[in-house]
Amino acid sequence: MQAKTNVPTGAEKLIECLEAEGVEHIFGLSGGAAIPIFDALVDSQIKLVMVRHEQGGTHMADGYARATGKVGVVLVTSGPGATNTVTGLLTASMDSVPIVVLTGQTVTSGLGMDAFQEADTTGITYPVVKYSYLVKRVQDIPRIVREAFHIANTGRPGPVLIDLPKDITSAPCDTSRIEAIPDLPGYLIPKTADDTSIRLAAKALAQTTRPLLLVGHGAVISGAGAAVTKLAEKLNAPIVSTLLGKGAVDEHHPLHLGMLGMHGTAYANKAVIHCDLIFSIGSRWDDRITGKIDEFCPDATKLHIDIDPIEFHKGIRPDVAMLGDAKPTVEALLPRVHRRENNPWIRRCESWRKQYPLKYDTEGGLKAQHVIDALNSAIQSRLGGDAIVTTDVGQHQMWAAQFIQSRNNRQWLTSGGAGTMGFGFPAAIGAQLALPKQQVWAIVGDGGFQMTLCELSTAAAQKLPIKILVINNRSLGMVRQWQELFFDNRLSGVELECNPDFVQLAAAYNIAAWRIDLPNQVDTIIAKAMAHTDGPCLIEASVRQQDNVFPMIPAGAPLSKMLIERPSTPLERPEGST
């Protein structure tokens, strides 16, 4: 056995550097190539959260980061351990979430030799990270850690991967963190947009009569909500949000029209169609909100704030592009905007809100919309709207986006760009660990939940009081909806014929659970779950399979082709868009 020296190993230095970055939790699953790092954690104040699958670990770190704005950290082994993080890396990359993934690797002499559990981790993950490192010198560990955290959580946030060969983490490292100076030539972080673009934006706002503020995830990341609210009030302009922009501005605000886009509120989409100026604040003009690009607000002036210049000309070409962080840029714009008083544009938007409210049929069995609407009512009345809600992807996600009113920043966590099934539940674990005093609800579908439900073991072991709402319609609901509407109801690969009994499954982990079968059970069981504090609990809502999400804009169609309800005749199959 090698004698212990006073010089720390690379693994010990790594953990020391993570502590200096303020890391409190690491989501990890061990393996041979990462053993030196796991060994170093034994003497650390950092809490290791042992996950059951590496994908779940990345989603936990993602949820932790989204809920706090801090960097989430993942630790896995080489080969399949590392490749199992790819889905989580893609999810974080598409949604600009700061996580750092540490992967064990075979010894440096074995690189390229097809050693046991060797994978070209940096090569495989290159397209789905903001930056990546393969550490080849133990002395570089302190510098690389500092750079990784800086890159992950500055500018447009994103995931960073550090691949660590086992001989590097086992070798002695005498480099101090203080001596480790980041070396990032060319990495520039935009602050406030330049004065010229701000002046042009103010001029455009002075000339508009029907302005609309589009709030995206960048406003959430920047914490720009208060400034955006002041701007909307000064302009007397309505607000719409993207799926990931929910919560940046309190959705109870009278100027807020909810989410726009494919499954946005009808009144939000009506406002988009008829505005003469649309101001995107931290939104990347995703295809789910623009529909057919050449018919998206063709006559409206387009203003755009973004911290990433690559977003200015990806489909939508703004009339005024403001490169900068959303919060300071909006704050700099505010003094140049003139107050607008009584506004017929606002009255018109309010008339659409009354004419096209969100609604659902209360007859014919238990509806997912009813359950989610009731959960929202309970969150608002019992918690003052102060709850974190995570979702998976699919019909339940869109109903939650419609009916859950997000009151505060960083309390709505969902996978947007990647549309990752299996995200919602582990993301809730990360959020609950980060904010133990918050009530956290994971709204999941029966399909997506089964992709990461092994993390029930993690939630139970950590005794986390997460509330899990499983919307069980015994199908992959969103795909089934498209097959019904666009493929002559030729159902293929969507019916989940052998779902488990989710209540009994929860009981197997010693988790409290209830089933909702009838509408009159909804409020009582939600109240029971809200009062439950002894570890996780689960509600299985057995809902109608045939219900579809409306409003709906068919993929690739203009917003003007919005469907308010189920059409009476089959629809033309969308081409060239998913």
Cβ neighbors of 294 (< 8 A, separation 6 or more) are none
Instruction: Establish whether 54 is a catalytic residue.
Output: yes
Distance CA 67, CA 433 (A): 10
> Is the omega angle on the peptide bond into residue 165 within 30 degrees of 0, that is, cis?
no
Helices then strands, each counted (H, E), the chain = 23, 18
For strands 387-391 and 439-445, give the pairing.
parallel
Contact present, 279 and 202 (Cβ < 8 Å): no
3-state per-residue secondary structure call for 242-268? CCCCCCCCCCCCCCEEEECCCCCCHHH
Catalytic pick among 47, 116, 136, 463: 116
Catalytic residue among 24, 50, 117, 295: 117
Q: Distance between CA atoms of 255 and 240, rounded to whole angstroms?
A: 9
Q: Are strands 131-134 and 439-445 parallel, antiparallel or unpaired?
A: unpaired
207 HSE (CA, 13 A, CB side): 12
Q: What are the φ/ψ torsions at residue 512 (nearest 5 degrees)?
A: -65, 140
β-strands 99-105, 387-391 pairing: unpaired
Task: Enumerate residues 6+ apart whose C-beta is below 8 A from 120.
Answer: none
Assess whether 116 carries a catalytic annotation. Answer: yes
* Catalytic residue flag (residue 478): yes
d(CA 92, CA 81): 18
Residue 117 annotated among the catalytic residues of the structure: yes
3-state helix, strand, coil in the chain (%, to 5): 40, 15, 40
Which entry of 54, 118, 251, 540 is annotated as an active-site residue?
A: 54
Phi-psi region of 186 (alpha: psi -120 to 50; beta: other; left: phi over 0): left
What's the DSSP call for residue 572?
Answer: P
- Report the alpha-carbon distance of residue 424 to residue 74 in Å, rounded: 17
Candidate list 130, 166, 302, 467, residue with the active-site label = 166
Report which DSSP code applies to 186. T
- The one catalytic residue among 262, 451, 478, 562: 478
The residues assigned a catalytic role are 54, 116-117, 166, 478
